[in-house]
Chain A
Amino acid sequence: MEFTLLIYSDPAGLEKLSQAQATEVLNAYGAYTGALQSAGVYRGSNRLRPTHTATTVRVKSGKTEVLNGPYVETREQLGGYFLIDVKDLDAALSWAAKCPAASHGVVEVRPVWPRSEFEG
Chain B
Amino acid sequence: MAHDWIVSARAAEEAARRSYGKLIAYLAARTRDVAGAEDALSEAFTAALAEWPVKGVPNAPEAWLLTVARRRMVDAARRRRLSEAASEHLQWLADLMSDEDEQLVVPDRRLGLLFACAHPGIDRGVRAPLMLQVVLGFDAATIASAFLVAPATMGQRLARAKSKIRQAGIGFEVPERDALLERLEAVLDAIYAAYAEGWSDPQGVDPQRRNLADEAIWLGRLAASLLPEQSEALGLLSLMLHAHARRHARRGPSGDYVPLAEQDPARWDAAMIEEAETLLSKANDLGGGGRYHLEAAVQSAHAVRRRTGHADWPAIERLYDALCLLTGSPVAALNRAVALAETRGPKAGLAALDELANDERLANYQPYWAARADLLARSGASESAQQAYDRAIGLESDPAVRHFLQQRAAASLDRSI
Chain A residues near B (Cβ < 8 Å): 24, 27-28, 30-36, 38-39, 89-90, 93-94, 97-98, 100, 102-104
Contacts and interface: CB of A to CB of B under 8 A. Distances in A.
A104 B400 CA distance: 12
Interface residues of B, number: 18
B149 A35 contact: no
A15 B236 CA distance: 47
A34 B393 CA distance: 10
A31 B150 contact: no
A98 B153 contact: no
Given A35-B395, A98-B397, 20 more contacts: A24-B406, A27-B393, A27-B406, A28-B393, A28-B406, A31-B390, A31-B393, A33-B394, A34-B391, A35-B364, A35-B390, A38-B394, A39-B363, A90-B153, A93-B148, A93-B150, A98-B394, A98-B395, A100-B399, A100-B402
Interface in B3-47: none
B391 A102 contact: no
B156 to A, nearest CB: 12
Which 6 pairs, one residue from A and one from B, show the smallest C-beta to C-beta distance?
A35-B394, A31-B394, A31-B393, A103-B399, A97-B397, A32-B394
B413 to A, nearest CB: 11
B396 interface: yes
Contact of A35 (B150, B391, B403, B406): B391
Contact of A34 (B390, B399, B402): B390
Contacts of A31: 390-391, 393-394
A83 B19 CA distance: 47
Among A28, A93, A97, A100, chain B packs the most CB atoms within 10 A around the CB of A28
Interface in B376-398: 390-391, 393-398
Given A28-B402, A39-B363, A89-B153, A97 B394 contact: no
A74 B280 CA distance: 55
Contacts of B153: 89-90
A115 B205 CA distance: 42
Nearest to A94: B148
A109 to B, nearest CB: 8
Given A93-B148, A93-B149, A24 B390 contact: no
Nearest to B392: A31
Contacts of A33: 394
